[in-house]
Structure 1
Amino acid sequence: MFLTKFLTQRSLTPSYILFNISRALQYQTSTRKSTETYPKQNLKPKFDAINFEHTLKPYAEDLTLENQHEKLSNLILPLSNHSYDEQLQIKQDIIEQVFDQIGRAILWDKRVDSQVLKYVEFQQGKFCHVESIIPSPIIDHYRCKDDLSCGYGVDGQKTIGFYINPRNSKNFPNTLCIPPMHLKSMKSKHILTLKHFDQFLKQHPLSICENTNIFKKDQYWRSITLKSNEQNDLMMNVIVHPQSFSKNEIDQMKKDLLNYFIDGSGRECEINSIYFQTCAQNRCTSEENPFELIYGNEFIYEIYNEKKFRISPESLLHVNKKAAELVYTSILEHAQIDENTIVLDIGSAIGIYSILASSIAKKVYAIDPVTLCIEDGKFNAKLNGCRDNIEWICGSAEVNLHRILKKIADLHGDHSRIVAIVNLSRYSLSNRMITILRSLPSIQRILYVSSKSDGQIMHNFYELAAGERSKLKQIGAPFIPTSIYPIDSLPHTTDAETIVNCVRV
């Protein structure tokens, strides 16, 4: 059905977003010398997300005290002026266009595996079929994690918020920072904390970093991260640049924070945990520069799908708790896990997929590059009384995947049934990883979870379906995206969580 539609329609969709995806896919692949066999289609995209956001994108030169909050909302929440039904339809259109283009790109290239063509031509199953988007259970005030930067506002005062860059840095060299207190997505407790941090910065004698990517001498306060659970327990991580400060001077910065937020007017925020990190680079992991607990509880806890999980300073936390539970439920449903299934959780974070799957699966291998996330995962498994069938592995998936699959083959035989869950916010699959995944016949299903559709992710789908003439050697039977399950986890934005079910053909 898809192939018939592909052969009879008349040109590739002329949307900017789809054009970029197509270019990204074709960059590393060869295309047919003649496309006369493929008549052009005349369908126009229903919604062009890239051009839409570009028309709303603000620049620092255009900001005033009166319009700054409206401009920031246009940047962060571009669909906030649409009804929620309209937002869902726009997102549905975007996702359908993206995967229509992916399907065309897979079939268009001469490297496509013959099994893929046979599968599609004889309608052996779904191919790039997008299901109806599932709405978010909560539309406003849903964000339980916010990353914000220090900077100078339109009025020239120190503040905390999001950066808006100038259109022309030569004529207008300053990047402005806009406080996000008017955004619909932010929790009221986060807004209250930001108002107080704004006041703290204004009264503090030390200067702030004007830009997190460009560090200047004698600039100290950099950024904060706020994390909260459904019970409104709040963790605040404060990141500063140490410059040439002594230990005593750094300790004074910590005391100033506590004097304001624990003993001063900021105590009304009722913060449960305050962490402090010094970082002289763009980003520092806990291994490089540990987070120091300077007040309160070491962790906060959240309930996902009736399981309890601890959250640490570096834990990967889904920004919309209610929508996240829908994602986890959908993953388990479409993974078709039973007592004979081995699960690869690639990008396991705090272990939610692994822990939810462990009660059903034969064995679970959880891989994540962050040590603190692996420690959280191990703790959460014990906290929830999981069976002793989860193996936690810290490190690069690419380095560990071949060893894990060899171990699976040795322990369970080549005929084990393996399902891979790939969290693309943690890993983007390289060609080598795809080769490894395709090389083991036991892997029959790969579930991709992503809130973005950038070129690298789209290229993953392309290489999974490539045939024998691919640069990849001895890659095994191909995988194709059969069904896509969108869930709106980010209301008022053009993004949505997508679960892509890839099966081997």
Structure 2
Amino acid sequence: MPLHVLPGPEIGCVWKAGVSGVYSCLVLFRLTNVATPLWRFPYEEQLKVKSESQKKVLQTLASRLRELGTDKLEITQKPDGLCCPLRSIVPSQGILSVCEPTTGNMPEKHKQVAQCYEEFLQQSPLDPCLLFHQGGHWRELTVRTNSSGHIMAIITFHPQDLSQDELCNQKALLKEFFTCGPGAVCNLTSLYFQESIMTRSSHQQSPYQLLYGEPYIFEEVLGLKFRISPDAFFQINTAGAEVLYQTVRKLSRADKNTVLLDICCGTGAIGLSLAHQASKVVGVEVVEQAVEDARWNAAFNGISNCEFHSGKAETVLPQFLMSREDDRLLVAIVNPSRAGLHYHVVRAIRNCEAIRTLIYVSCKPEGEAMRNFLEFCCPPDSGKKLVGEPFSPLLAVPVDMFPHTMHCELVMLFTR
């Protein structure tokens, strides 16, 4: 479960020694209400709120498809104006109690690392970097933990015009603080440092430098062990991830005559958890470190029917689909970021007749994912090169991965 903290005045006010209790409490309330706006509601009420939100997504999709002139009446004439049946939301299996605003929605260990980082910033002669053009150096802290309590901390740093000797000195001070100084109480498993002149950089753009400890943390999901690099995506709610993957497994209905496409596969969690019931799994992921993890995960868990490809999905997937020679049916599972799928990925899936089943996992279905839904389901459009038979939404299953927030994962099953 990762925590991201940017150094700034509000974070400083919360943890800075000597700040008045009243002001600190007000800031904590503000932070809690922004990060976990549903914390005051009993969990059953939270689920009702989220269910209504997902219902609006399906109503919007049905309305937009009507506007596009779809001729599939079963899509646009469902009860309640939904485009397909909506199952009851699957509750989270790991809920942090938020009885007070000071608790937040994160483990105590995460807050301890953030507090120590704040203490380090206060004693550092270098300023935080809030806006690049205003100078400063210390930027984001990311904390990742697993169910065993291992902790990976990643600190990003803007080098500005520091020399290599000065950079080495800052890295040494940071390492000393977290291994021998006050930060040693965090008992970090891994401490990474990344020099970056951009808001967010990949390992390829700005390598993660291991200052201390182990290069990876590990997590177990559905009886499988996963290696996780600092740059690799992994679901933040491990217990919830198990339920999510089980949901995807049931909807896929994959068998030994099926090839699963795991698009935006990260460390391979979805594909590997379904590999035993499929003929083959082909994963695609842009983050090279995650692909290396996925290959290690397959080998470690003794799974031999998976292959993982590094590169942009909009490049790798069309090439794979054009070069395949067997006639086995394909099931596509996509789990993109909030930015959604690139148009070329949508076009490749839509125009591949062997793909009869599509499962779309979205953490923000009302955003760019809605654009993808419409592209998959709209009538054929030669101008946009969407010439394949349109998909139809068959079922929607919300899975709550983020208690106390407005967000949940929506698993959409499309068929044709």
Same fold (TM over 0.5): yes
Structure 1 residue 455: Cα displacement: 3.6
Q: Deviations over 1:72-108 (max 9, x none)?
A: 1111111111111110100001101111121122123
- 1:397 equivalent among 306, 313, 326: 313
8 Å CA contact retained: 1:349, 1:377: yes
1:288–1:435 Cα change, 3 Å? closer
Structure 2 CA distance for aligned equivalents of residues 251 and 97 of structure 1: 53
SS in 1 for 2:277: coil
Contact 2:47–2:91 (8 Å) recurs in 1 = yes
Aligned in 2, Cα 1:407/1:363: closer, same or farther, shift over 3 Å? farther
Aligned positions of 1:445-484 closer than 5 A: 445-469=357-381, 471-473=383-385, 475-484=387-396
Instruction: Report the residue type matching 1:132 in the other structure.
Output: S
Identity among equivalent pairs (%): 30
Report if the CA contact (8 A) 2:65-2:377 is conserved: yes
Alignment of 1:169-208 (within 5 A): 182-208=102-128
- Work out which of the two has the higher radius of gyration on C-alpha atoms and give 1 or 2: 1
User: Structure 1, residues 384-438: CA drift from partner, whole Å, max 9, x if none?
Assistant: 1111x22211111111222111222x2x13xx21100001227622443222212
1:279 is aligned to 2:191? no
Counterpart of 2:31 in structure 1: which amino acid? L
Decide which of 23, 39, 42 is 1:83's aligned counterpart: 42
Give the secondary structure class of the aligned counterpart of 2:256.
coil
CA distance, structure 2, for counterparts of residue 362 and residue 338 of structure 1: 7
Task: Select the residue among 114, 128, 134 that pairs with 1:216.
Answer: 134
Amino acid at match of 1:271: L
Q: Distance in 2 between matches of 1:193 and 1:122?
A: 50
Is the 8 Å Cα contact of residues 91 and 494 (structure 1) preserved in structure 2?
A: yes
3-state secondary structure, aligned to 2:155 = strand
**Which residue of structure 2 lines up, in the alignment, with residue 439 of structure 1?**
351
1:449 touches 1:500 (CA, 8 Å); kept in 2? yes
1-side partners of 2:38 and 2:410: how far apart? 18
Q: 1:76 to 1:467 in 2, by over 3 A?
A: same
Cα 1:191–1:455 shift into 2, 3 Å: closer
Task: State the partner residue of 1:368.
Answer: 285
Report the counterpart of residue 128 of structure 1 in structure 2: 84
Q: How does 1:248-327 map to 2 (within 5 A)?
A: 248-327=165-244
| Alignment partners' CA distance in 2, 1:448 and 1:273 | 33
Residue-by-residue CA offset, 1:187-227 (whole Å, 9 max, x unaligned):
0111111111111111122111124xx4423x111111100
Aligned length: 393
Picking from 217, 222, 237, the partner of 2:154 is 237
Unaligned runs of 5+ in 1: 1-57, 143-179
Specify every segment of 5 or more residues in structure 2 that has no aligned partner in the other structure, as ranges.
1-9, 11-21
TM-score, scaled to structure 1: 0.74
- Counterpart CA distance in 2 for 1:427 and 1:348 is 15
Residues 466-475 or 370-379, more deviating = 466-475
Residue 90 of structure 2 aligns to a residue in which SS? coil
CA distance in 2, matches of 1:271, 1:104: 50
The Cα RMSD (Å) is: 2.3
* Preserved CA contact (<8 Å) 2:350 2:387: yes
Distance 1:122 1:307, change over 3 A: closer
Match of 1:140 in 2: 96
Deviation of the 1:446 alpha carbon: 0.6
Q: What is the 5 A alignment of 1:40-119?
A: 64-110=23-69, 112=70, 114=71, 116-117=72-73
Q: 1:121 to 1:190 in 2, by over 3 A?
A: closer
